[in-house]
Amino acid sequence: MPRSKTKKTKTQKNPKTKQCKEKCLTRSKSFSKKDKAQFMKLCMYSCLQVTLVSKQEFEGIVRLLKTDKQNKLMLDKVLSTLPDNPEIFKTHIRHLVDEMMDHYVPLIYSLR
């Protein structure tokens, strides 16, 4: 009995994959070969999985929050605490990220 031929279909490449790969390659230049491979794996995963919300989607979320009275009060409170200068907010976010890295990276590696 002859074997039936199965048609192989090519998987279509996601255009975002190419962008992610280029971005990750430029970021990984300072690592050695082994570290570069591990970084590329993490970078590609996060790049393909984490998507930022577009401006329209973000405005839609804000509109939904404003429909509920309690959420509107919370949103107004958060927006009122933002500094006038965006650089101050950016510096604050960077400081928070650095603080979290200093705290959690050693904890995570202590589990190994």
- Number of neighbouring beta carbons within 10 Å of residue 24: 19
Higher pLDDT, 34 or 2: 34
Helical (H) or strand (E) element with 34: helix 33-49
Taking the domains of the chain in order of start, what are their residue ranges?
A: 15-83, 84-112
Stated pTM of the model: 0.58
φ/ψ region of 74 (left if φ > 0, alpha if ψ in -120 to 50, else beta) reads alpha
Per-residue confidence (pLDDT) for residue 65, from 0 to 100: 87
C-alpha dihedral, 23 to 26 to 27 to 30, nearest 10°: 160
What is the overall mean pLDDT for the chain? 86
- Residue 3's pLDDT band, with cuts at 50, 70 and 90, is low
Per-residue confidence (pLDDT) for residue 52, from 0 to 100: 81
